[in-house]
């Protein structure tokens, strides 16, 4: 039997769903107004804000782990969630409890009056409210989309980070890296660090930093990294230099994101972080749905939220350097606004069988459209299923010990697939 508290949260989440969770309405006026009414527009904790096309989640996770090991009380806000809403808001390593979350929702609803909020604005306000109640030292906020007009940018950050810049969300951010870079650099603040981890950043990053008077720290200039071998890499900046263990998260890109985090922590401390804390973070941080590996019924499964061409290229590289004897079977679906051609063309050379899922979400791309694109780029077998659960179940049934299942394309694919895998163990 469900508790009254779980019913209360479920009712709130149903109300949030009615606020059009798929609606993207960028702008800061609404959320700033409600934040001021709530008294959470200014807080005692410091803020690290992380933007980027890919790599935001791991950058946030590494920074949180290092700061936590150093003894700071942290709050982490990420999106979207995979299975439980509470995944989005984490205080000192624990998901926020239902009571604190529901109390925050009640207060926001009362304070907003007639102001309409999007799903993401409402949840962002809840995160900041929970962090204030918990009296944390530092909040690490992941940008939802872009940066300049994203809800988390309603709060001035002490340190701004950009993990990477690639083409994605063109309807809102623009169709070229220069325009997208300008939007992401919109989180920068005067006199405060702006850390960019992209190895080949668009010039707009430097332009925006100069316009607002931010302290720009760019990879290969103010900080850099070198991959030494399969076990070690070198990080160095003006404050900190060390040979470090490769992260627990697979893929060289994990080192790139960790480098941004290390630089950010150094600026946060205005001193070199303890090497032991950095090493602990690299050895401990694992992430749901980011090159996540699990074994299911003697079949290896990789879950990754790769949903644009750049992320698909990284996933392809990982599959190529970890070959298998059997079949690579994909469970895949994505949103309508994605460059489906770029994603499929990248992964077509390494996928032998596509299990395409129709996603139960308003912005999802129809499975038949995805199938047409796969057929353009691949001679692999293709099947279309009515749901992620059906596609995942079929992939499991068809795979053996020498095969590999790759679940990717969206949080709305990885989340239901992971739930299906967990329930069928």
Report, as an integer, the average pLDDT of 298-315: 93
Say what the pLDDT of residue 172 is.
61
pLDDT, tens only, 63-92:
999 999 999 999 999 999 999 999 999 999
pTM over 0.85: yes
pLDDT band at 168 (very low <50, low <70, confident <90, very high): low
E runs forming strands in 100-253? 138-142, 159-162, 193-196, 215-218, 223-227, 232-237, 241-245
Report, as an integer, the average pLDDT of 329-351: 95
The answer, yes or no, to whether residue 4 has pLDDT greater than 60, is no
Nearest to 409 by CA among 175, 199, 198, 168: 168
Nearest to 410 by CA among 336, 316, 353, 322: 336
Longest dimension (CA), the chain: 60
Question: Structure tokens of 147?
Answer: 């940066």
Q: Report residue 332: phi and psi, to 5°.
A: -140, 140
Q: By the 8 A CB rule, do 353 and 381 touch? A: yes
pLDDT band at 106 (very low <50, low <70, confident <90, very high): very high
**Is residue 80 reached through a cis peptide bond, with omega within 30 degrees of 0 on the bond before it?**
yes
Say what the pLDDT of residue 2 is.
47
Cross-strand bridge partners of residue 217: 195
pLDDT band at 337 (very low <50, low <70, confident <90, very high): confident
Q: Percent of the chain beyond pLDDT 70?
A: 95
Say what the pLDDT of residue 21 is.
55
**What residues have CB less than 8 Å from 223, skipping those under 6 apart?**
195, 217, 235, 236, 237, 238, 259, 262, 263
pLDDT band at 171 (very low <50, low <70, confident <90, very high): low
Q: Which domains does the chain have, with CATH numbers?
A: 4-284 (3.40.1190.10), 292-423 (3.90.190.20)
Q: Which residue has the higher pLDDT, 19 or 350?
A: 350
pLDDT, tens only, 184-242:
999 999 999 999 999 999 999 999 999 999 999 999 999 999 999 999 999 999 999 99
pLDDT band at 129 (very low <50, low <70, confident <90, very high): very high
Q: By the 8 A CB rule, do 118 and 19 touch? A: yes
Q: By the 8 A CB rule, do 194 and 188 touch? A: yes
């Amino acid at each position: 039997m469900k508790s009254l508290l779980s019913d209360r949260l479920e009712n709130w989440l149903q109300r949030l769903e009615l606020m059009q969770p798929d609606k993207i309405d960028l702008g800061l006026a609404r959320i700033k107004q409600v934040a001021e009414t709530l008294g959470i527009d200014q807080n005692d904790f410091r803020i690290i804000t992380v933007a980027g096309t890919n790599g935001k989640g791991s950058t946030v996770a590494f920074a949180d782990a290092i700061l936590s090991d150093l003894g700071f009380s942290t709050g982490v806000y990420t999106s979207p969630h995979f299975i439980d809403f509470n995944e989005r808001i984490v205080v000192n390593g624990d998901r926020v409890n239902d009571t604190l979350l529901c109390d925050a929702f009640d207060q926001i609803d009362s304070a907003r009056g007639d102001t309409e909020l999007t799903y993401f604005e409402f949840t962002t306000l809840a995160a900041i409210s929970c962090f204030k109640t918990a009296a944390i030292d530092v909040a690490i906020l992941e940008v939802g989309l872009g940066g300049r007009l994203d809800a988390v940018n309603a709060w001035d950050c002490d340190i701004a980070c950009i993990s990477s810049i690639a083409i994605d969300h063109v309807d809102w951010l623009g169709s070229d890296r220069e325009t997208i870079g300008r939007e992401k650099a919109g989180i920068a603040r005067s006199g405060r660090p702006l850390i960019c981890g992209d190895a080949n950043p668009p010039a707009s990053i430097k332009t925006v930093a100069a316009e607002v008077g931010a302290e720009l720290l760019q990879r290969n200039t103010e900080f850099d990294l070198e991959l030494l071998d399969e076990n070690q890499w070198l990080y160095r900046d003006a404050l900190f230099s060390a040979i470090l263990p490769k992260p627990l998260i697979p893929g060289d890109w994990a080192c790139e994101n960790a480098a941004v985090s290390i630089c950010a922590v150094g600026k946060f401390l205005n001193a070199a972080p303890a090497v032991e804390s950095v090493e602990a973070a690299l050895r401990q941080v694992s992430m749901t749905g980011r090159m996540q590996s699990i074994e299911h019924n003697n079949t290896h499964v990789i879950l990754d939220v790769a949903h644009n061409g750049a992320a698909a290229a990284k996933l392809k590289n990982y599959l190529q350097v970890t070959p298998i004897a059997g079949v690579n079977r994909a469970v895949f679906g994505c949103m309508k606004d994605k460059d489906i051609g770029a994603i499929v063309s990248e992964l077509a050379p390494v996928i032998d069988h596509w299990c395409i899922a129709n996603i139960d979400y308003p912005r999802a791309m129809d499975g038949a459209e995805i199938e047409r694109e796969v057929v353009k780029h691949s001679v692999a077998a293709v099947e279309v299923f009515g749901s992620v659960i059906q596609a995942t179940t079929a992939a499991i049934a068809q795979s053996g010990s020498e095969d590999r299942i790759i679940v990717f394309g969206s949080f709305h694919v990885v989340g239901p697939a992971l739930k299906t895998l967990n329930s069928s163990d």
